[in-house]
């Protein structure tokens, strides 16, 4: 009877702990969503300038290809222009609220960390934001500049590019987000090493497997052209090597603290 009662209490405690985690996750998500909404509303009034910035790589590609008679980006529905500005505001809101999003994410994870590991949370939040920004900037100034020039070079007198602004922005925002997330790889390696799930020896041993996996990943998450895929695969391989160094540094830190 006592064992049954004890087991029941233990199960109830586990259920309460699980519900507490769900409640914590819910509030973290609400705070992140509110931050995105506030930033999106603020950016909406400047969405035309955001649109100009995002269209610049397209116009620059046309200029480099001497396609001065090329058509402008178009929208195909009466509400198309308005919806583009809404989407741009939401995308910009996500980008600007990244520090808050990363903070809420790491604060949700923090209760499962040791006290010595919790002190890294502010640093990880800052580095996560910087890595994402570097990835997005690399995509904007390198990948889009040369990728669009390559893709638009296939236009001929019989094959005219008439591009929807909606399709163009989906293409460019997807790439910006993907590159931003890919550049989080060193931060992820640092965190997994600190919690004991990853070692530099493991990453070195499975280097070939990791590179092949990342090249396949690049093919899946980028547009179906080999040029853009290679532009993503290259940084992926470099970031993998950087992650090994970061993992080695994190491991040495943990060992010195243990001593």
pLDDT digits (tens, 9 = 90+) for 151-199: 888 877 777 778 888 888 888 888 888 888 888 888 888 878 877 778 8
Residue scoring higher pLDDT (224 or 197): 197
Higher pLDDT, 258 or 13: 258
User: pLDDT per residue over 241-252, tens digit each?
Assistant: 888 888 888 777
- Tokens 């931060």 found at: 187
Instruction: Extract long-range pairs of 161-165: CB within 8 Å, 24+ residues apart.
Output: 161/70, 161/71, 162/71, 162/74, 163/58, 163/71, 163/73, 163/74, 164/73, 164/74, 164/75, 164/76, 165/73, 165/74, 165/75, 165/80, 165/84
Give the global pTM.
Answer: 0.78
Question: What backbone torsions phi and psi does residue 84 show, to the nearest 5 degrees?
Answer: -60, -45
Residue 41, pLDDT above cutoff 90: yes
What is the average pLDDT across 197-224? Answer: 75
User: Is the pLDDT assigned to residue 116 strictly greater than 80?
Assistant: no
Q: Rounded to an integer, what distance in angstroms lies between the CA atom of residue 111 and that of residue 91? A: 30
pLDDT on residue 184: 87
pLDDT at position 33: 92
Report pLDDT for 16. 47
Cα distance between residue 240 and residue 148, in whole Å: 26
150-162, pLDDT tens digit by residue?
888 887 777 777 8
- Say what the pLDDT of residue 86 is: 92
The answer to whether residues 31 and 100 touch, using CB atoms and an 8 Å cutoff, is: yes
Least Cα distance to 257 among 192, 194, 189, 199 occurs for: 194
List, for residues 65-115, the tens digit of each pLDDT value: 777 655 688 888 888 888 899 999 999 999 899 889 888 887 887 776 667
Instruction: Say if residue 206's pLDDT is above 90.
Output: no
Listed by start position, the domains of the chain span 2-183, 184-259
């Amino acid at each position: 009877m006592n064992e049954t009662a004890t087991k029941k209490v233990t199960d109830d405690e586990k259920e309460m702990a699980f519900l507490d985690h769900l409640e914590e996750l819910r509030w973290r998500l609400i705070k992140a969503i509110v931050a995105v909404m506030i930033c999106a509303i603020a950016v909406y009034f400047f969405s035309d300038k955001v649109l100009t910035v995002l269209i610049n790589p397209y116009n620059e590609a046309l200029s480099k290809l001497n396609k001065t008679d090329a058509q402008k980006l178009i929208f195909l529905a009466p509400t198309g222009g308005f919806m583009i500005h809404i989407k741009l505001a939401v995308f910009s809101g996500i980008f600007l609220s990244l520090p808050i999003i990363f903070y809420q994410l790491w604060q949700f994870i923090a209760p499962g960390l040791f006290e010595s590991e919790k002190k890294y949370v502010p640093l990880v939040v800052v580095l996560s934001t910087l890595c994402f920004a570097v990835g997005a900037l690399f995509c904007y100034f390198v990948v889009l500049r040369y990728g669009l020039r390559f893709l638009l070079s296939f236009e001929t007198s019989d094959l005219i590019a008439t591009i929807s602004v909606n399709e163009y922005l989906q293409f460019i925002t997807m790439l910006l987000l993907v590159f931003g997330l890919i550049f989080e790889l060193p931060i992820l390696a640092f965190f997994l090493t600190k919690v004991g799930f990853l070692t530099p020896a493991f990453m070195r041993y499975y280097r070939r497997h990791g590179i092949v996996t990342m090249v396949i990943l690049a093919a899946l998450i980028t547009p179906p052209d080999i040029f853009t895929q290679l532009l993503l695969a290259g940084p992926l391989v470099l970031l993998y090597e950087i992650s090994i160094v970061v993992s080695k540094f994190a491991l040495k830190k943990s060992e010195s603290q243990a001593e």
